A and B are shown apart, each in its own frame.
Chain A
């Protein structure tokens, strides 16, 4: 358990996991907000109900959510190469991770936004607020804690997905656990990587809860 070589490897892998998770969370939130806002706007109870737009967008989001991550990673290789400049490595893994998280983020932010009390929207309209003002000052204001909880959920599920990053040479804790722990029968690697992952996930959740409580 105190093998310095193992811990050296795990430290490096932890850095790779953190890189993959943070960047893909950031990009997927930025890109996921767009479909989330469109879904909220065009939903039957939205500010601009539009059934065709809502149904099509909703279908596309579901299609992307149904792809197994390992398959998605392979399918998007050309895109990965175009964006990251290469198809393997930690940086390259951020592309499929982001793409797989966008529809997830879109759904969790949409559901947080749509939980806003319709009475508040009506009150804002009665004061002559424009749709943009209603979005920024009512929807996002009220839904912020829910959106944050959704982002935390996304981050934690990205920790899980990033374990598959090893398949395209991205490294990370999951990769160490699979190669060293599972395939090379080194039980101490399995235990150590799992322990680090548990602590990492707990940490994300605790920080998330702390911010959530501050916000709500």
Chain B
């Protein structure tokens, strides 16, 4: 469990984290999302002690990270794995030796049968058993990140920190890495903390998410709570401030916040009320298997009251536009 309360961090005059409080539960996939420069990577680095903080508290399994001695911090860091945007593999080591590196830091000999077995098992898990002797430059971006994941897991950590781990990868490769991360959490029951600016990542794998803007935590909750009915800050982050909608008639936005079972309501309404309308915007997304989002209908001015009444009666969350 990771408990962060009233965390503040400054680089000289510049405040990078301003009164951040959040709790990450054991075994969950937790997202930290925001623009570049919002402070999310720094927040992640406060969890494993790569960054110091001025005030507030970061507790990992009940221990204050900032108060640990160097030796204790090194020990704690060995219980946390980390992966990076640029993979950070040693170019002169092959796949096996890159994965083995944290073992060497921990004073374990990777040639010992039980350690060797652990390394091979992880390389198998990430699907690179045929690349044991390959150097990083012979691997694709996705393969490099897989090596980095195996490396991060080699000391059996109970927390995995991911810093923009998919930002340098194309969408198809990103999918593979995301399902690997979910599988690792499910099989090894470890906590995964994901820092990203990609909404796709958060939607697909995170159970809870924090949205950071200008060093502050703006909103925390399930991804669907943040992104189905986004507030102004999140809309700005998603770049949805300049929607073009029809200027005639009335625009009615319907939110699907639980499940898309509510979708037939639209065709039912068309039949029951015998009204015509156009669907001028649909913003539906897959949140860990649930299709959620919003639809914008453009109805005639005179039909609007009937349509709104019908939708509200059917239990939909609606918002009237112009």
Chain A residues at the B interface, C-beta cutoff of 8 Å: 117, 119-120, 122-130, 133, 137-138, 141-142, 144-145, 215-216
Interface string of B56-98 (1 = CB under 8 A from A): 0000000000000000011111101110101011111100000
Cα–Cα, bound, A14→B101 (Å): 46
Chain B residues at the A interface, C-beta cutoff of 8 Å: 48, 50, 73-78, 80-82, 84, 86, 88-93, 101-102, 104-106, 155, 161
Q: Write the nearest CB–CB distance from B118 to chain A, whole angstroms.
A: 15
Could you say which residues of chain A place their CB within 8 Å of the CB of B78?
A: 127-128
Q: Write the nearest CB–CB distance from B105 to chain A, whole angstroms.
A: 4
Could you say which residues of chain B place their CB within 8 Å of the CB of A216?
A: 92
- Pick 18 A–B contacts, CB within 8 A, sort by A: A119-B86, A119-B88, A120-B89, A122-B50, A122-B84, A123-B88, A125-B77, A127-B78, A127-B82, A128-B106, A133-B105, A137-B101, A137-B105, A141-B90, A141-B93, A142-B91, A215-B92, A216-B92
Cα–Cα, bound, A141→B135 (Å): 14
Chain B's closest residue to A125 (CB) is B50
Could you say which residues of chain A place their CB within 8 Å of the CB of B74?
A: 128-130
Could you say which residues of chain B place their CB within 8 Å of the CB of A122?
A: 50, 84, 88
Q: Write the nearest CB–CB distance from A213 to chain B, whole angstroms.
A: 13
Cα–Cα, bound, A133→B105 (Å): 7
Could you say which residues of chain A place their CB within 8 Å of the CB of B101?
A: 124, 127, 137
Are B92 and A144 within 8 A (Cβ)? yes
Could you say which residues of chain B place their CB within 8 Å of the CB of A145?
A: 92
Pick the contact of A127 from B77, B86, B89, B92 — CB < 8 Å? B77
Chain B's closest residue to A117 (CB) is B88
Q: What is the number of contacts between chain A and chain B, taking CB atoms within 8 Å? A: 61
Cα–Cα, bound, A144→B90 (Å): 12
Cα–Cα, bound, A124→B86 (Å): 14
Sorted nearest first, the 10 A-B pairs with minimum C-beta distance are A128-B77, A128-B74, A123-B88, A126-B82, A127-B102, A119-B88, A129-B105, A128-B78, A127-B105, A119-B86
Could you say which residues of chain A place their CB within 8 Å of the CB of B48?
A: 126
The CB with the most chain B CB atoms within 10 A, among A124, A129, A144, A215, is that of A129
Q: Taking A123-B82, A137-B104 as contacts, is the C-beta distance between A128 and B75 under 8 angstroms?
A: yes
Could you say which residues of chain B place their CB within 8 Å of the CB of A117?
A: 88
Are A128 and B105 within 8 A (Cβ)? yes
Cα–Cα, bound, A130→B155 (Å): 16
Chain A's closest residue to B44 (CB) is A126
The CB with the most chain A CB atoms within 10 A, among B48, B74, B104, B105, is that of B105
The CB with the most chain B CB atoms within 10 A, among A127, A133, A137, A145, is that of A127
Cα–Cα, bound, A122→B104 (Å): 16
Could you say which residues of chain A place their CB within 8 Å of the CB of B104?
A: 133, 137
Pick the contact of B73 from A119, A128, A137, A138 — CB < 8 Å? A128
The CB with the most chain B CB atoms within 10 A, among A125, A128, A141, A215, is that of A128
Cα–Cα, bound, A120→B93 (Å): 12
Pick the contact of A141 from B92, B106, B161 — CB < 8 Å? B92
Q: Write the nearest CB–CB distance from A146 to chain B, whole angstroms.
A: 11
Cα–Cα, bound, A144→B82 (Å): 26
Are A120 and B88 within 8 A (Cβ)? yes
Could you say which residues of chain A place their CB within 8 Å of the CB of B50?
A: 122, 125-126
Cα–Cα, bound, A126→B155 (Å): 12
Known: A127-B102, A142-B92, A216-B92. 20 other contacts (CB 8 A): A119-B88, A122-B84, A123-B82, A123-B88, A124-B101, A126-B50, A127-B78, A127-B105, A127-B155, A128-B74, A128-B75, A128-B76, A128-B106, A129-B105, A130-B74, A133-B105, A137-B105, A138-B90, A144-B92, A215-B92
